[in-house]
């Protein structure tokens, strides 16, 4: 099942994001940038040791206390097909004093901004925060679709955004709850 929005600029699919061939893939990281479980673990495994090495350098130089929630940084893709990985820290649902939606939106916006600044034309996102960080999938769909639409309406560098869900059921939950106009 591949569902399209915005005239094909947004494609919803299901699969393993480590296999995507877009120029960049997004990692749902945590503030340590040192890897973890879920999609973060899968991306670090598939990319190889250079990813962790670059993340350590970023921590040392710019974020000694960790990458704040809602922000994103970019590294090379190591052994991945994608040339770049954009590492974003999503909100842990319910622990941000009512600012979960804003922080999730910031995450997507910062990833898209970094992609455009690096002249990246195609980018794949996992469903940030909807695993270990427990963001309800239907709510996340409404937040992510809105921020992606806003961004793409004002930016022509990025030609296509892929939303890669790990199951058909998760992809369906997105397709049934988007806020695209």
Query: Does residue number 145 form part of the binding site for ligand AR6 (CB under 6 A)?
Result: no
Options 128, 147, 148, 161; binder of ligand AR6; rule CB under 6 A: 128
Which residues ranging from 15 to 54 are in contact with ligand AR6 (CB under 6 A)? 16-18, 28-30, 36-40, 42
* Residue number, 27 or 149, with CB nearest to ligand AR6: 27
Q: Which of 16, 40, 100, 170 is catalytic?
A: 40
* Residue number, 29 or 148, with CB nearest to ligand AR6: 29
Can 40 be counted among the known catalytic residues? yes
* Residue number, 17 or 120, with CB nearest to ligand AR6: 17
CA atoms of 148 and 165, how far apart (whole Å): 16
Of the candidates 65, 82, 165, the one whose C-alpha atom is nearest the C-alpha of residue 118 is 82
Note whether 58 and 33 are within 8 A (CB): yes
Chain-centroid distance of CA 17 in Å reads: 10
Residue 181 CB, nearest distance to ligand AR6 (Å)? Answer: 25
Of the candidates 50, 56, 47, the one whose C-alpha atom is nearest the C-alpha of residue 27 is 47
> Is residue 73 classed as helix, strand or coil in its secondary structure?
strand
Q: Which two tokens stand for residue 46?
A: 């598939």
Query: Does residue number 90 form part of the binding site for ligand AR6 (CB under 6 A)?
Result: yes
Please identify every residue annotated as catalytic: 40
């Amino acid at each position: 099942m591949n569902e399209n929005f915005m005239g094909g600029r947004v494609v919803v699919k299901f699969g393993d994001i480590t296999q995507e061939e877009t120029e960049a893939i997004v990692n749902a990281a945590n503030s340590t940038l040192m890897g973890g479980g879920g999609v973060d673990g899968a991306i670090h495994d598939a990319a190889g040791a250079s990813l962790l090495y670059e993340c350590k350098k970023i921590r040392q130089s710019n974020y000694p206390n960790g990458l704040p929630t809602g922000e994103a940084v970019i590294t090379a893709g190591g052994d991945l097909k994608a040339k770049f990985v954009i590492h974003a820290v999503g909100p842990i649902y319910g622990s941000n004093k009512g600012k979960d939606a804003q922080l999730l939106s910031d995450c997507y916006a910062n990833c898209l901004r970094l992609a455009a600044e690096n002249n990246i034309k195609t980018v794949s996102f996992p469903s940030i925060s909807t695993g270990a960080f427990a963001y309800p999938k239907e709510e996340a769909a409404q937040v992510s679709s809105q921020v992606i639409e806003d961004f793409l309406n004002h930016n022509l560098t990025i030609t296509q955004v892929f939303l890669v869900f790990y199951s058909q059921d998760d992809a369906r939950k997105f397709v049934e709850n988007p806020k695209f106009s």
